[in-house]
Structure 1
């Protein structure tokens, strides 16, 4: 518990920084809204005071004075109506714009070439932070004008009550600060439970997105019930956290309303006793009662604002943890060789799943890699694409260590294409993101048949992640996209797992022909792909144990036969 408290304390400055930047970034609409909404609150406070003046004029004044004060009262009504209309519009604009800019900042961090923001977080959790938490922080920007206006309304009410009676004004001036402090203290449990609620909601969103994306696999394994039980547990935890947060919020608002009511009752009681003793007039008594009733508005507003601030602070800390996530890799000082010849060298590469891997790949070579351990394959792909740096050893491009290069520029020279075949909303042409060499890439990947079967060809609009296509169709389009990019070094991971054997053979021949004279590494156990390579490297238990042609390794190496043919 002490460690958790210390961690949260250490995160607070970052959370405050997020809040400060969100508000400062919208200073113009926040300032404009604060001025106008303060004008509205000033008008609301003046109305009961002016009504008391009108009553005194009607009782003891002349018709001229009565007409004058009625005119002033009408002008105040018009002003406060105008001020609220445009002030609230400015406040809401600040809220939406602040939330939008936070989403952009989160998106930039998640898409940063250095990586690291996604570590330990499911994609759905990141989406929840970008949506729910950004909206809560943005709401704080809208609350600043309301808070400013509420404080101004309290101050003006105290001044007006001082004009009516010094004891009444002092009562407000003395009583309001401790009341506001107590409201702030009551909001602390709400802040804690709001943060817990958002964490559980993010977890539930992440699990749901994870299960939906793998629904076909779950059905194939018959694991729907297990997945449903997992989501049910996560969802119930989120529900309990939400209920606890709602209870804390209801308790907070109930207590603050009760405290405000007691405070207003005291003001009304004091005003009544002053009127009974003849210290204030009938009109002033009416003004006192109206001002006491008006005080409920700024006091309730401040209690509400404090609740929004509590939730905003909790959300700001969660956003700060993403924005301040340490990068997975750091940019190096050297430029990427231009043009890159495509020579790849692995020197003593060690880490998760890998043990002292030494390998040289010459420019233009077509190399297959068979890994008996999936962890070794994943680690190799991560190091080649510089999604992670090795614990020991190095990976070199044309004699330069990848750690000395900028990861964004490097990925234009070494393209690592995963096997999950992710497509995006939009047309097929937009997904392929290429014009030059597109037709040849489609043929090489066997995707020309896919395009020909679509109703509008390349201009066919795909739904989310291309779910209207089969797995094999998506995989071939993704392979065509990688080929059309035409990088100096192309690394493919199981690019044909979802296609039939006839199509796989055709893709293997097309891939070999398309990538002639350019370095290509295929991490796979597909015999059809391995058969067209210049050389195959066997990674057994994370170490290079054999190299040679596919035919020779099948004939001579039992571990290779087991990995490829079983």
Structure 2
């Protein structure tokens, strides 16, 4: 009995596991970056209340130095976090492309080997899988910023802070449910993209034969149909993504 092939969830878990050090480093520093972003308006308010309005020059100088230090941490943490996640993306993309090429060369028969589809799998699919690192960084940084803002609101106005703590998870839940449609549409998009790539590969390999038998119009029509299906799938995915973002 043939073993079941690993699904998308398994591949994503393996992807994160292989690059977990870079992913954790990037997520932590992006969390620090977003927390620093949340502290900027708080810091401005503190400077105005305790240095500008009382016209205290000494506190104003201290505040400006502290403000500069905050921006130093903000920009530095974003740089370090982004570089770590970009390293994870590029290293894992390379590893996935090598795996696809190795599988195509060693475990696929010549009858199943479609150059266009292999190329699509090793480029578009590999890039889509490694987007998980961007999602991890965005999620952790958003959570850090939200937590920092919520804590400050609870101390300054407990009612407003409580409302934020109640409403934000509800909105996040709605977005999470809506995002499932994006995943389904993205799978369809990748499949149609691979089909279009395979169509191109077949056409280019048999170009001389196609021209010899006068099949240019048929080949053009077949690719046009595959390309249109891929375009429609991409538009559907973009539309769903836009609705969730909105």
TM-score clears 0.5? yes
Whole-Å separation in 2 of the counterparts to 1:35 and 1:88: 10
- Is contact 2:32-2:144 (8 Å) kept? no
Decide whether the 8 Å contact of 1:91 with 1:143 is kept in 2: no
The answer to whether the Cα contact below 8 Å between 2:193 and 2:230 also exists between their aligned partners in 1 is yes
Match of 1:93 in 2: 87
Provide the residue aligned with 1:54 in structure 2: 47
Provide the rounded CA distance (Å) in 2 between the counterparts of 1:61 and 1:150: 36
Number of residue-to-residue matches in the alignment: 242
Where does residue 482 of structure 1 map in the other structure? none
**How high is the TM-score relative to the length of structure 1?**
0.41
Corresponding residue number in structure 1 for 2:142: 150
Structure 2 counterpart SS, 1:240: helix
For residues 194-273 of structure 1, what are the structure 2 equivalents within 5 Å?
194-254=186-246
- Alignment partners' CA distance in 2, 1:143 and 1:121: 33
Distance 1:96-1:244 versus aligned 2 partners, 3 A rule: same
Gaps (5+ residues) in structure 2?
Answer: none
**Mapped pair 1:69 → 2:63:** yes
Residue aligning to 1:184 = 176
Q: State the 1:119 CA deviation.
A: 6.9
Give the whole-Å Cα distance in 1 for the aligned partners of 2:102 and 2:113: 16
- Larger relative contact order (C-alpha < 8 A, sep ≥ 6)? 2
- Cα contact 1:106–1:130 (8 A) shared by 2: yes
Q: Deviations over 1:339-383 (max 9, x none)?
A: xxxxxxxxxxxxxxxxxxxxxxxxxxxxxxxxxxxxxxxxxxxxx
Larger Rg: 1
| Mean CA deviation greater in 207-216 or 187-196 | 187-196
> Aligned in 2, Cα 1:115/1:125: closer, same or farther, shift over 3 Å?
closer
Kept after mapping to 2: 8 A contact 1:30/1:142? no
Identify which of 124, 128, 138 aligns with 1:132: 124
Which structure shows the higher helix fraction?
2
Change (3 A) 1:100 1:216: same
- TM-score, reference length from structure 2: 0.90
**Which residue does 2:28 correspond to in 1?**
35
How far apart are residue 204 of structure 1 and its match? 0.7
Higher percent of residues as strand: 1
Q: Name the counterpart of 1:108.
A: 102
Deviations 1:408-461 (A, max 9, x none): xxxxxxxxxxxxxxxxxxxxxxxxxxxxxxxxxxxxxxxxxxxxxxxxxxxxxx
Query: Please, which runs of 5 or more residues in structure 1 have no aligned partner?
Result: 1-9, 255-566
**How big is the shift at 1:146?**
2.4
Match 2:167 to one of 159, 168, 175 = 175
How much does 1:174 deviate? 1.2
| Deviation readout 1:233-266 (Å, 9 max, x if unpaired) | 2222222222222222222222xxxxxxxxxxxx
8 A Cα contact 1:45 1:156, kept in partner: yes
Per the TM alignment, residue 115 of structure 1 is displaced from its structure 2 partner at its CA by 3.3
Aligned equivalents of 2:81 and 2:180: distance in 1?
29
1:83 maps to which residue? 77
User: Partner of 2:16 in structure 1?
Assistant: 23
In structure 2, C-alpha distance between the alignment counterparts of 1:95 and 1:56, rounded to whole Å: 44
For residue 108 of structure 2, give the secondary structure of its aligned residue in structure 1: coil
Residue pairs, 1:62-461, within 5 angstroms: 62-112=56-106, 114-115=107-108, 122-254=114-246
Note the aligned Cα RMSD (angstroms): 2.0
Contact persistence 2:104–2:113 (CA under 8 A): no
Instruction: List per-residue Cα deviations over 1:171-230 (Å, max 9, x = no partner).
Output: 221111111111111112221111111111110110111001110111111211121121
